[in-house]
Chains A and B, each alone.
Chain A
Amino acid sequence: MKKVLQKAYLALILIFLYAPILTLMVLSFNASKSRAKWGGFTLRWYQEMFDSSTIMDALYNSLSIALFAAIIATLIGVLACIGIQAMGKGPRAICMTLNNIPILNAEIVTGLSLMICFGAFGISLGYGTILVSHVAFCIPYVILSVMPRLKTTSSAAYEAAMDLGAPPIQAFFRVVLPDLMPGILSGFLLAFTMSLDDFVISYFTRGRGINTLSTLVYTQVRRGIVPTMYALSTVIFLAVLLFLLAQNFLPQQLEKLSRRHHARRAHE
């Protein structure tokens, strides 16, 4: 009895979570523009979506910004972790507090403060300002992903490698970095998805004439019924699904690989 109630509760929440998304997917094949009536099956909205240069430009912007932001944030973040680890207690605490500001701050405040700042220095808003801002709010997440791993692995393995005759740089690349890899990868993926999903900060730092997917959806939705948005939702949901499956699957694989790598090293 209790088991049945629990299952029913899980099912209800799942319906609540997925019904809206499924609705969008169904509507994306609806020939009628109405939300209330089924006008027959069509792929027209997908056609229109892929033909629309506005949507494709926005898609390109979102993906390229997310990719560059994630790469830059990961590089800066990993270097920062090593640097922060080498610091004394006080400076380290300051850095970690600094790190929490963008995470805890309301997005609207972060976005507006960046907009004010760019305005004050006469920097015109566009692709560059979005990218720079995205890097700024992505770095803290990279650090949160990498820091715990660095804490557990670094010193002992690193010192052991040097004890066995590896010079410091080599010890880092052969021992520390492979150990950090899963953390780095999950930090990179987190940064990528945070950037891709962002609306508020892009909205305030984008300037005119450039859209990311989120800002495009916002303007389109405010304008009224747009069936291409249903098609877009479907495509994005499926992409997210694949991406997340890979993300949940890949780090494990990578961990396995790095362990095997170590095992082989040990054999040699």
Chain B
Amino acid sequence: MSKRFGKQLLAGPYLFWMIAFTIIPLIMMGVKGLTDSQGNFTLNNLMAMGNPVNSQALILSLELSLISTVLCLLLAYPLALILRNMGSGSNSLIVFLFVLPMWMNFLLRTFAWQTLLEKEGVINGLLSALGLPGINIINTPAAIVLGMVYNFLPFMVLPLYNALAKISDDVINAAHDLGANRAQTLVRVLIPQSLPGIISGITMVFVPALTTFVISDILGGAKILLIGNVIEQQFTVSYDWNTGAGLSIVLMIFVLASMALLNIFDKNGEGTVL
């Protein structure tokens, strides 16, 4: 008994660190968000989300992150399926190729799209060299969606690939054997069996897309505000920490609600993050 307890003590530093630098900060944020600058209890900070500027930013964030998630799913599913079917021989290198850009610095990846899309950017330079009219996509929601899809696509590919690779060839053969053609096998066997991967892919794209402020900052210009930008500016521009914390809490509620919603679909509860 005492030996077992001694072993458990090894988790002490971990518990200290997690409580001190995860739990307490979240509690402090909760306190900040529920008090005014004098320290009195108030719900005004939460209500600030109702203010048209903030609510529009939240709605736009939801829209763009939803579109990005759907696009990522549509692009990644065939990709993951192709990678799965290539078999285990050559594919570790190919999977590596698809994951490699994920490890490139996030800021630089976003910056790369800025150089491509700018009015005086690389794409327009190439287009004008070919005598074609330029495109004007920078500082529009489309540019933000593009940045989101680009940055988060690998986060969708990996869980999908892992889920699909788990399905044995014989299960797919069994579906064919029982009369299902390719499309029927996809709808009735592959998609349902890879559902945990789909769920965790959606989570891994939707949450960072919903809460980003960097992509919108670099590709959306100053005029397009996502909820991430609104919150960031509360802290770094207006120095209104109480309102910022309040808005963060509301955002967190949205994140948790969307994850809870997704978990309903995940019957088996296998869809963990990694």
Contact = CB atoms under 8 A, between A and B. Distances in A.
A79 B25 contact: no
Interface in B6-23: 7-15, 17-18, 21-23
Contacts of B108: 24, 217, 229, 232-233, 236
Interface in B39-97: 75, 78-79, 82, 85, 92, 94, 96-97
Nearest to B207: A106
B273 A16 contact: no
B18 A139 contact: yes
A91 B112 CA distance: 46
A115 B244 CA distance: 12
Contact of B94 (A10, A108, A197): A10
Interface string A65-90: 00000000000110110111111000
A218 to B, nearest CB: 6
Contacts of B207: 104, 106
Contacts of B100: 240-241, 244
A18 B96 CA distance: 13
A24 B273 CA distance: 32
B211 interface: yes
Interface residues of B, number: 81
Interface in B213-271: 213-214, 217-218, 228, 231-232, 235, 241, 244-245, 248, 251-252, 255, 259
Interface residues of A, number: 81
B24 interface: yes
7 contacts: A13-B79, A14-B98, A17-B150, A109-B255, A112-B245, A117-B28, A139-B14
B124 A36 contact: yes
A76 B17 contact: yes
Given A36-B124, A87-B11, A132-B21, A116 B105 contact: no
Given A132-B21, A233-B108, A237-B104, A83 B125 contact: no
Given A6-B82, A108-B231, A114 B104 contact: no
A92 to B, nearest CB: 10
Nearest to A16: B150
Contacts of A19: 116
B235 A115 contact: yes
A193 B24 CA distance: 26
B245 to A, nearest CB: 6
A120 B28 contact: yes
Main SS of chain A's interface residues?
Answer: helix
B10 A17 contact: no
Query: For B101, B154, B252, which residue has the most chain A Cβ atoms within 10 angstroms?
Result: B101
Contacts of A144: 274
A79 B10 contact: yes
A35 B122 CA distance: 5
Nearest to A118: B25
B105 A214 contact: yes
A112 B96 contact: no
Nearest to B255: A106
B109 A20 contact: yes
Interface in B179-212: 203, 207-208, 210-212
A191 interface: no
Given A76-B17, A91-B8, A193-B103, 20 more contacts: A9-B79, A14-B98, A23-B115, A36-B125, A36-B126, A79-B10, A82-B10, A86-B4, A100-B273, A102-B22, A106-B210, A107-B211, A108-B212, A108-B251, A109-B248, A136-B22, A222-B217, A230-B115, A240-B104, A244-B103
Nearest to A190: B274
Contacts of B107: 199, 214, 217-218, 221
Given A106-B251, A214-B105, A229-B108, A27 B115 contact: yes
